[in-house]
């Protein structure tokens, strides 16, 4: 008989085995910090109408042009697994008439996103983002506050040496004007460009600016600069953002070739990198999208937001010695107590004892395999990383006690059965006792 096939994750998708607690840790930190700045959490569906991304993110973008998971449902409606979070939030803003709420509306979100990309280190087809959007204020103070919040979040995770890369892609009009100038500048070099850039020359010349191809980068050295084309208001906005960043003590670098991949950006765009960890790519990116809500059929309402690549963030957090230690300490505190009932007829008591521990807020697991020798069962408890074991059997029932064993120094003591959970709590978490 042929062996049964074993299943594996779909190409480009990964299980969070072992890393899930670190994912949860950064999510908790995000909730904590973002709510200090007045942001509320929202969750939108994983599936949206395809048209939302085509119109919102733009057909010229790589994401929409090449990377979407798009399918027809049973009624022939074209649906897409969300490749990013801003267009869905903009849709929700309109659908729930958030324009009538006190402005600006500030929301954050987190979850899985999908892009059909070539899988490579740190890039997946299902990845995770933590993002936030501030809708209804044109800035520039909102731009600065958003960046300050982000830095605070990253610092709380233990990052140091953070660098903000900043640019302005101008308003729609400046972008159009500049795209044309760039096209004209690059036209004589058309044959020297790679296939991707040649295609972008027609569809989205701005994207050529962030090419990684050395030859193309060389060609771009003398290209016209985007911010020489900024219209008066976009120019003033950019100047004010920079001034206020200085006031807020935020170190930043102007990157005149930073354009970001999604079409909806206007004016401020940014990325944050951490040089200390040797991260070459951005931990996150974001920017202003003053035309997006109108593009989706709504009023002309400005917005700004960012998306953090959570997979990359978690990998980097694991490299920070301090953060890892904190995480470990936290995990250590949550190591469960193992309850071992000695003798098959005491298993029910074992369950009750474990329940009492949990009711006192102490994680507890039961070792039920009463047919095995006690030594093997204690070994099993150690393998589960339990430091403490509660033993209970015939002798303990008679004396009205339980035995508490500490693996760390191989000592044990007996404590009264009544109220034992509180005694265990005082013993294992002396720092938390009133
Ligand atoms: P974007 O939505 O393209 O502006 O990307 C924001 C952040 O999401 C990036 O800085 C990346 O860290 C992360 N990201 C985007 N695409 C992927 C992917 N396929 N796999 C992992 N992370 C991604």
Q: From ligand 1's centre to the CA of 412, what distance in Å? A: 52
Residue 117 CA to ligand 1 center (angstroms) comes to: 11
Examine the domain organization and report whether 381 and 236 are in the same domain. no
In this structure, which residue's CA is closest to atom 3 in ligand 1? 261
Ligand 1 atom closest to 260 (CA)? 4
Q: CB-based contacts of 137: which residues, under 8 Å, 6+ apart?
A: 103, 104, 302
Pairing mode, strands 284-288 and 303-309: antiparallel
Q: Which residue's CA lies nearest to atom 11 of ligand 1?
A: 309
pLDDT averaged over 10-residue windows placed end to end, the chain, 434 residues: 90 92 93 97 98 91 92 98 97 97 97 94 93 96 96 92 91 87 92 88 85 88 85 92 95 88 86 73 89 94 96 88 68 81 93 96 90 92 91 96 93 95 86 58
CA of 309 to the centre of ligand 1 (A): 5
Q: 361 with 420, same domain? A: yes
Cα-to-centroid distance, 51 and ligand 1 (Å): 21
**Which atom number of ligand 1 is nearest to the Cα of residue 63?**
3
Structural domain count of the chain: 2
- Pocket (CB within 6 angstroms of ligand 1): 84, 115, 117, 123-124, 127, 129, 260-261, 282, 284-285, 307, 309, 311-312
> Are 369 and 428 found together in one domain?
yes
Q: How far, in Å, is the centroid of ligand 1 from the Cα of 144?
A: 22
Whole-number pLDDT of residue 259 = 84
Residue at which a domain ends, from 296, 325, 354 = 325
Model pLDDT, residue 16: 94
Contact status, residue 152 vs residue 132, Cβ threshold 8 Å: no
Domain shared by 321 and 359, yes or no: no
Kindly state whether residue 65 falls inside one of the protein's structural domains. Answer: yes
Largest interatomic CA distance in the chain: 95
- Ligand 1, atom 8: nearest CA belongs to which residue? 309
- What's the half-sphere exposure (Cβ side, CA atoms, 13 Å) at 249? 1
CA of 281 to the centre of ligand 1 (A): 10
- Give the residue, by CA position, lying nearest to ligand 1 atom 13: 309
DSSP-assigned letter for residue 342: S
Residues 187 and 218: their CA atoms lie apart, in Å, by 15
Looking at the CA of residue 261, tell me the nearest atom of ligand 1: 3
Q: Crossing angle of helices 420-428/347-359, nearest 10°?
A: 60
Cβ proximity of 54 and 64 under 8 Å: yes
CA of 349 to the centre of ligand 1 (A): 51
Q: Same domain for 280 and 374?
A: no
CA nearest 259: which of 168, 186, 163?
168
With a CB cutoff of 8 Å and minimum separation 6, the contacts of 177 are: 229
Cβ neighbour number for residue 61 with a 10 Å cutoff = 23
- Measured in angstroms, how far is the CA atom of residue 260 from the centroid of ligand 1? 11
| Cα 354 to averaged position of ligand 1 atoms, centre (Å) | 43
Of the residues 11, 127, 263, which should be mutated to test ligand 1's pocket, given the most ligand atoms within 8 Å of the CB? 127
**Structural domain includes residue 198:** no
Q: Which atom of ligand 1 is nearest to the CA of 85?
A: 2
Shared-domain flag, residues 47 and 88: yes
- My answer on whether 270 and 363 are in the same domain is no
Q: Hey, which of 114, 118, 129 would you mutate to test ligand 1's pocket, going by the most ligand atoms within 8 Å of its Cβ?
A: 129
Enclosing domain of residue 393: 333-432
Question: How far apart, in whole angstroms, are the C-alpha atoms of residue 165 and residue 162?
Answer: 10
Phi, psi (degrees; rounded to nearest 5) at 37: -100, 10
What is the pTM assigned to this prediction? 0.88
Instruction: Please check whether residues 143 and 116 belong to one and the same domain.
Output: yes
DSSP state of 123: B
Query: Do both 394 and 247 map to the same domain?
Result: no
Distance CA 327, CA 318 (A): 9
Which residue, among 61, 51, 55, 56, has the nearest Cα to 203 in the 3D structure? 61
Residue nearest to atom 10 of ligand 1 (CA): 284
The string of pLDDT tens digits covering residues 185-221 is: 999 999 999 988 898 888 888 888 888 888 998 989 8
Using DSSP bridges, classify how beta strands 126-135 and 303-309 pair: parallel, antiparallel or unpaired.
antiparallel
The CATH number for 381's domain is 3.40.50.800
Rounded to the nearest angstrom, the distance between the alpha carbon of 279 and the centre of ligand 1 is: 14
Helix (DSSP H) and strand (DSSP E) numbers for the chain? 16, 16
Q: Are residues 316 and 351 in the same domain?
A: no
């Amino acid at each position: 008989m042929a062996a049964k096939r074993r299943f594996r994750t779909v190409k480009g998708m990964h299980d969070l085995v072992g890393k899930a607690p670190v994912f949860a840790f950064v999510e908790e930190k995000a909730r904590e910090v973002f709510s200090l700045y007045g942001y509320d959490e929202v969750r939108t569906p994983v599936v949206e109408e395809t048209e939302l991304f085509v119109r919102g993110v733009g057909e010229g973008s790589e994401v929409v042009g090449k990377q979407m998971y798009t399918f027809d449902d049973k009624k022939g409606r074209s649906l897409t697994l969300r490749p990013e979070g801003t267009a869905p939030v903009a849709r929700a803003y309109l659908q729930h008439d958030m324009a009538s709420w006190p402005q600006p509306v500030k929301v954050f979100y987190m979850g899985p996103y999908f892009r059909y990309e070539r899988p490579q280190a740190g890039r997946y087809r299902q990845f995770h983002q933590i993002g936030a959007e501030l809708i209804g204020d044109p800035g520039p103070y909102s731009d600065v506050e958003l960046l300050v919040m982000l830095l605070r979040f990253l610092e709380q995770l233990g990052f140091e040496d953070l660098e903000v890369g900043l640019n302005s892609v101008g308003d729609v009009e400046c972008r159009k004007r500049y795209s044309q100038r760039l096209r004209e500048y690059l036209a004589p070099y058309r044959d020297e460009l790679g296939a991707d850039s040649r295609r972008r020359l027609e569809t989205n010349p701005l994207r050529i600016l962030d090419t990684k191809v050395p030859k193309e980068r060389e060609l771009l050295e003398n290209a016209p600069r985007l911010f020489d084309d900024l219209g008066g208001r976009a120019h003033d906005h950019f100047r004010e953002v920079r001034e206020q960043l200085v006031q807020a003590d935020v170190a930043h670098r102007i990157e005149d070739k930073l354009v970001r991949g999604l079409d909806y950006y206007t004016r401020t765009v940014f990325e944050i990198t951490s040089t200390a960890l040797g991260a070459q790519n951005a931990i996150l990116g974001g920017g202003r999208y003053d035309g997006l809500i109108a593009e989706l059929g709504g009023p002309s309402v400005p917005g700004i937001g960012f998306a953090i690549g959570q997979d990359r963030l978690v990998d980097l957090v694991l490299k920070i010695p301090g953060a890892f230690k904190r995480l470990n300490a936290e995990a250590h505190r949550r190591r469960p107590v193992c309850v071992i009932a000695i003798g098959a007829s005491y298993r029910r008591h074992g369950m009750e004892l474990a329940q009492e521990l949990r009711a006192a807020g102490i994680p507890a697991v039961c070792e039920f395999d009463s047919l095995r020798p006690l030594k093997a069962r204690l070994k099993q408890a150690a393998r589960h990383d339990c430091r403490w074991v509660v033993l209970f059997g015939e002798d303990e029932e008679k004396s009205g006690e339980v035995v508490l064993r500490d693996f760390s120094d191989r000592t044990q003591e007996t404590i009264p059965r009544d109220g034992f959970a509180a005694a265990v709590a005082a013993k294992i978490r002396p720092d938390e006792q009133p």
